[in-house]
Copies of this chain bind each other. A is one copy, B any other.
Amino acid sequence: MTAHRDRLDAVSVSSENAAAESVTNTVHAERTIPEATVARLALYLRALTGLAEHGTATVSSESLATAAGVNSAKLRKDLSYLGSYGVRGVGYDVALLTEQMRSTLGLNENRAVALIGLGHLGKALAGYTGFATRGFRISALIDTDPELVGTTLREIAVQHVDLLEQIVRSENIAIAVIAVPSSVAQEVCDRLVAAGVTSILNFAPTVLAVPDHVDVRKVDLAAELQILSFHDNRKSARSDAQAGPLSAALGTRPGGGTGLASSTMGATGLGSKAMSDTAIGSTA
């Protein structure tokens, strides 16, 4: 209805020469997939998993797009980079597409991931059941806290950071998640890189310096909130100031736009499902 803003953003800055070149490896000759598309593949994959659970065998670009929260043109263009796995006049085979996507993302190798830092955030990540089903295996939990070292979380032993290099090498870990305070993030990062890690997901609010061949993605909570704040600011500025002239919609709006059940559950719903644990957890 109204003007749109399909967001991109803040969460990450990487440096690498990986994505650009045309590599043409693996059996079904791979095209060069745009970054923006790669970032959305994960969304599609989740949507597909959901469909598979519902027993759907075939899906149109239109429905899959809706499920993933994008428009169908974008979805089709994105999928076209993986190759032609749809059938005109019919749609996409859920299983086939899922497989194709997992293979493109390299999720069929059950990649070993190390998680460093087991504060609340680290624990939340460690408890994330989604990893296993999504092609990752947390094969190392690392911290300094003597209270934690030696205990196990989800059947994985927490080891001392002194053993970091050793663990990374013996487990052949290429991907690591940094969930330590920013004061030690660079230090941990350096050691990971020296030990051979080539991809890092960083939750500390620091700009990590890494050599060229290492990929860093960053998740910055405060930044996310600030971006929201900016938009919110704009909104209130608008309704405050020109609360009359032209398109004075907003407050007066009939009921929304993306036409949806604004609140269909019984007022104080939320039966008994616990809200507390693993926000990240759950299905797909």
Closest to A163 in B: B268
Residue of B nearest to A145 (CB): B276
Q: Is the interface of A mostly helix, strand, loop or mixed?
A: loop
Interface string of A18-35 (1 = CB under 8 A from B): 111101011000000101
- Count of identical protomers in the assembly: 2
> Is A36 interfacial (CB 8 A cutoff)?
yes
Residues of chain B contacted by A161 (CB below 8 angstroms): 270, 275
A-B pairs with lowest CB-CB distance, top 8: A211-B256, A106-B233, A212-B257, A42-B223, A120-B124, A179-B279, A10-B39, A11-B11
Cross-chain contact B105 with A230 (CB below 8 angstroms): yes
Tell me, yes or no, whether A3 is within 8 Å of chain B by CB.
Answer: yes
Bound: A107/B118 CA distance, A: 31
A7 touches B14 (CB 8 A): yes
Select A105's contact among B11, B204, B213, B233, beta carbons within 8 Å.
B233
Assess whether A41 is in contact with B230, with CB atoms less than 8 Å apart.
Answer: yes
Taking a contact as CB atoms under 8 Å apart, the answer to whether B205 and A121 are in contact is no
19 contacts between A and B (CB under 8 A): A6-B13, A8-B12, A10-B43, A16-B231, A106-B230, A117-B276, A121-B279, A122-B279, A135-B229, A144-B276, A184-B270, A188-B275, A190-B261, A191-B265, A205-B280, A205-B282, A210-B260, A211-B258, A212-B256
Contact across chains for A107 and B19 when beta carbons are under 8 A apart: no
